Amino acid sequence: MLDKFADELRLQRESSGLTLQQLANKTRIDLKFLEAIDQGNFAFLPDIYVKAFLKQYAKTIGLDENITLKKFEAAKENREFNLNPSVEEVKAVEPIKEPVTQAPKIETPIVEVQKSVVKPVSQLKSYADEPKHKSAEDEQKANKQLMIFGLGGVGLIIIAALLYLFIFDKSDKIVVEETPIDEVIEQSNQRYVEEQPAEQIIVDSTDTIVSSDSLHLTFYAKETAWVFVVLDNNRTQEFTLNANSKFTINALSEFKATVGNSGGVTLQMNNQDVDFIGRSGSVRHFKLDKNGLIYLNAPPKIEQQ
């Protein structure tokens, strides 16, 4: 029956003067699907898509869409069905779309049948209203719970923020207390000043040197540097220079020194520039006396006489 149905469709298409390709262009249906319909193969897609294609197919070749679908249904059930049936035939094969729970009586008026159809709908409506009412109550409860959870979450965030700030403020204070670099340098300078011999005096840019020693060595710092000095091979001096500061020491005959961050330090002996070349971040060892400056390969120390 499906082959006969397909033949009738093909004959109607050919009589309308359309090829499969022209029909594909008009209906926007893939050519391979139209070829399957022409060959009586209607299993290429689920029925819902096949029926949609058939409606478009029938409309384009001049057939009634609904009658064509009825014809297709009858062909699937292996029944005869004319492409142009009477109204009675259409009603006779028209499928029942809604299930009928009770067989209507012949004497029942149409109005009563409509009431019987409407009645279950109203029951369904009232049945559906009840869960909606419960859902509204549940939604109110859910909104209250969400509000409580939201307030609790905001409170936790605020507490966490306060703890974070408190901990970090505390840690900052600890860092300052553990590493007060300015205080350490100041205390170190004071300690070195206290350890100097009585005849040595530290001067700033406005001071003058007062000493009975014959050599006066001044360290000028452009950057922070550490200095260790052996004076006359019998005593030592150690100090830290801050950036843009100077420090003067005195000796009778010679200085032997180690300078950390030597690139940030320049020297003057007896108010004369010393040709000292250092390198930033590197340590330099040297010996300095009246004869000039000599670089050493090892840190200086007091040698036994």
Place of tokens 């009232």: 126
pLDDT band at 226 (very low <50, low <70, confident <90, very high): very high
Write the pLDDT tens digit of every residue in 69-85. Answer: 998 888 888 876 654 55
Q: Specify the 3-state DSSP secondary structure of 162.
A: helix
Kindly tell me if the per-residue pLDDT of 248 is higher than 50.
yes
Q: Which residues partner with 259 through β-bridges?
A: 227, 284
Q: Lowest mean pLDDT of 40-54, 109-123, 276-290, name the range.
A: 109-123
Q: What's the domain range around 262?
A: 184-296
Does some domain include residue 196? yes
Domain CATH number, residue 62: 1.10.260.40
Q: Which residues partner with 265 through β-bridges?
A: 221
Q: Which of 251, 214, 249 is nearest to 231 (CA)?
A: 251
pLDDT attached to residue 296: 93
Does some domain include residue 190? yes
CB 236 within 8 A of CB 206: no
Write the pLDDT tens digit of every residue in 25-41. Answer: 988 999 899 898 988 88
Does some domain include residue 242? yes
Does some domain include residue 11? yes
What is residue 280's DSSP assignment? T
Q: Which residues partner with 286 through β-bridges?
A: 257, 295
Q: How many folded domains does the chain comprise?
A: 2
Task: Report the sign of the C-alpha dihedral through residues 116, 118, 119, 121, in that order.
Answer: positive
Considering the chain, what is the average pLDDT of its residues?
75
**For residue 240, which phi and psi values (nearest 5 degrees)?**
-115, 130
Write the pLDDT tens digit of every residue in 173-225. Answer: 433 344 455 564 565 555 544 444 433 334 343 343 444 558 999 999 999 99
* Domain-terminating residue out of 75, 93, 111: 93
Long-range contacts of 165-173 (CB under 8 A, 24+ apart): none
* Domain-terminating residue out of 67, 93, 119: 93
* Average pLDDT estimate for 273-302: 92
